[in-house]
């Protein structure tokens, strides 16, 4: 992200009692460059991977400027804007990468800044965790990092907070720069066929529909988490080291298979009254990056399964958000709907983080978007200067609407008088949603019953 020369930062250390952070040296260059660009406070996110022994920070990205609030903001920090940026960035991170914490560049007093950082890191974690559909594991790291950089002195103070403890106090942490932090990380990938059906309530208001979809996705996520994972065709013991017998500092690539017991084998058929259903179908590409510090098969499986759940849930949510905006812009003018409607879910596109080795971030491209829009989002959200030829579009092919399936269905009139802003977004979902995901196709079917 920053290839120019820079003035190095120096870190204040408060002893070795806290967590240790191994940081890609390009992050130091990026933060130094930000120190020189703007006089006011600059906030941003720290991205990487946690482990029980230490954490790895491979990139940082500043919070995009919010034009309408720049004049009024002054020296204050827009917490709502920072947390929304974190939510969007979290969706763009494949398995193994997450938002580890926040940074701020300001010459404000360190004590006042610490209060701001504490509020930010808790708000960021709370918002991101709302989108997580998996059950937290006992070995999940709950410490998040905060970094304060003084742009004048270049002094850097690193502290952590346990975000699962509302009363958590700041703890000192070691912050050390190093080159090639993730150059030898392993990657595990898989393709998974998704076929999910979520019933919707008879009278689906906006909140009811969102709740039903979320609950349906949680049930499906539980099936994924309890499924068996084969790595290169073998079921490995949980404590098996992935790098065992491999050369040091050589990146490995693994292919995984997830074996999930079909729903009908797990529970008896249940008859319930509903007003429609959402059907998500297709094939997705999932991947996870695993640090090179003696990773275990258990970690690789956990990260991959979480990526599977996250990428499906993200696409469904993105489509619903698009439908909501579309219906609001049309002022609910669509009065006639077919019993079955199909919508393409966005396909997943990967982009390498060049300065950090082989690790990639991702974005989701709708069928009416070009690759230039993907590169623009990468720049805005992650501050990555990517060219269209840098994008990996091979993993998932665009979906296609199967018109004959829709044409065979008669049209019906929407009967419900729903809330004006989200009316037809709900009305659309009342008819059945089937989302065919990429590689095969990416769609959302909407059906009435």
For residue 158, the domain's CATH number is: 3.40.140.10
In a domain, 322, yes or no: yes
As for how many domains the chain has, the answer is: 2
Q: How far apart are CA 266 and CA 359, in angstroms?
A: 37
Three-state secondary structure call for residue 323: helix
pLDDT value of position 29: 94
The residue range of the domain holding 408 is 186-345+399-448
| 161/275 same-domain check | no
Whether residue 384 lies inside any domain: the answer is no
Residues 293, 419 within the same domain: yes
In a domain, 392, yes or no: no
| 3-state SS assignment for residue 366 | coil
**According to the model, what pLDDT value does residue 109 have?**
84
Q: Does residue 194 share a domain with residue 147?
A: no
Contact between 260 and 416 under an 8 Å Cβ cutoff? The reply is no
pTM, full prediction? 0.84
Examine residue 37 and state whether it is found in any structural domain, yes or no: yes
Query: Which helix (H) or strand (E) covers residue 365, if one does?
Result: strand 360-365
- Residues near 188 by beta carbon (within 8 Å), at least 6 away in sequence: 231, 253, 254, 255, 256, 287, 288, 290, 300, 303, 304
Is the domain of 72 the same as that of 174? yes
In the predicted model, residues of the chain with pLDDT beneath 50 are: 1-4, 15-16, 71, 245, 264-267, 335-336, 338, 404-443, 448-449
Give the per-residue pLDDT at 382: 97
Residue 46 lies in a domain: yes
Q: What pLDDT digit, counting tens, does each position of 258-303 carry?
A: 998 765 444 455 666 676 778 888 899 999 999 988 889 999 999 9
**85 and 223 part of one domain:** no
| 97 found inside a domain | yes
359 is a domain residue: no
Residue environment code for 36-67, b if the CB has 16+ CB neighbours within 10 A, otherwise e? eeeeebbbbbbbbbbbeebbbbbbbbbbbeee
Tokens at 11, concatenated: 């870190």
In three-state secondary structure terms, 32 is: helix
Task: Specify whether 172 is located in the same domain as 287.
Answer: no
Report whether 336 contacts 345 (CB < 8 A). no
Number of Cβ atoms within 10 Å of the Cβ of 216: 19
């Amino acid at each position: 992200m920053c290839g120019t020369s820079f003035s190095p930062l120096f870190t204040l250390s408060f002893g070795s009692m806290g967590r240790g952070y191994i940081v890609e040296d390009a992050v130091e260059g990026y933060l130094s460059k930000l120190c020189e660009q703007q006089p006011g406070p600059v906030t941003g996110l720290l991205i990487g991977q946690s482990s029980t022994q230490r954490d790895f920070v491979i990139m940082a990205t500043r919070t995009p400027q919010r034009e309408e609030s720049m004049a009024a903001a002054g020296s204050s920090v827009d917490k709502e804007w920072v947390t929304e940026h974190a939510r969007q960035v979290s969706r763009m991170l494949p398995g193994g990468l997450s938002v580890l914490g926040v940074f701020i560049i300001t010459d404000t007093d360190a004590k006042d800044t610490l209060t701001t950082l504490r509020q930010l890191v808790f708000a960021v974690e709370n918002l991101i965790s709302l989108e997580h559909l998996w059950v937290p594991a006992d070995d999940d790291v709950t410490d998040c990092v905060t970094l304060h950089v003084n742009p004048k002195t270049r002094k850097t103070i690193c502290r952590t907070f346990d975000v699962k403890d509302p009363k958590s106090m700041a703890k000192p942490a070691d912050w050390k720069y190093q080159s090639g932090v993730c150059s030898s990380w392993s990657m595990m990938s898989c393709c998974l066929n998704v076929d999910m059906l979520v019933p919707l309530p008879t009278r689906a208001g906006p909140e009811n529909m969102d709740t039903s979809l979320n609950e349906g996705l949680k049930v499906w996520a539980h099936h994924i988490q309890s499924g068996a994972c084969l790595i290169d065709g073998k079921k490995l013991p949980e404590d098996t080291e992935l790098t065992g017998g491999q050369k040091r500092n050589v990146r490995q690539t693994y292919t995984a298979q997830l074996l999930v017991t079909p729903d009908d084998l797990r529970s008896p058929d249940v008859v319930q009254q509903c007003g429609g259903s959402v059907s998500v179908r297709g094939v997705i590409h999932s991947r996870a990056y695993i640090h090179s510090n003696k990773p275990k098969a258990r970690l690789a499986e956990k990260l991959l399964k979480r990526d599977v759940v996250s990428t499906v849930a993200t696409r469904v949510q993105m489509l619903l958000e698009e439908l909501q905006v579309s219906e609001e812009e049309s002022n609910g003018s669509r009065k006639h709907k077919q019993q079955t409607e199909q919508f393409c879910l966005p396909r997943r596109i990967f982009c390498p983080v060049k300065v950090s080795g082989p690790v990639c971030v991702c974005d989701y491209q709708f069928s009416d978007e070009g690759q230039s829009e993907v590169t623009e989002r990468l720049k805005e959200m992650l501050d990555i200067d990517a060219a269209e030829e840098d994008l990996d579009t091979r993993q998932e092919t665009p979906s296609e609407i199967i018109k004959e399936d829709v044409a065979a269905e008669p049209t019906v009139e929407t009967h419900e008088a729903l809330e004006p802003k989200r009316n037809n977004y709900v009305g659309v979902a009342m008819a059945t949603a089937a989302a065919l995901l990429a590689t095969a196709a990416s769609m959302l079917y909407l059906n009435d019953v």
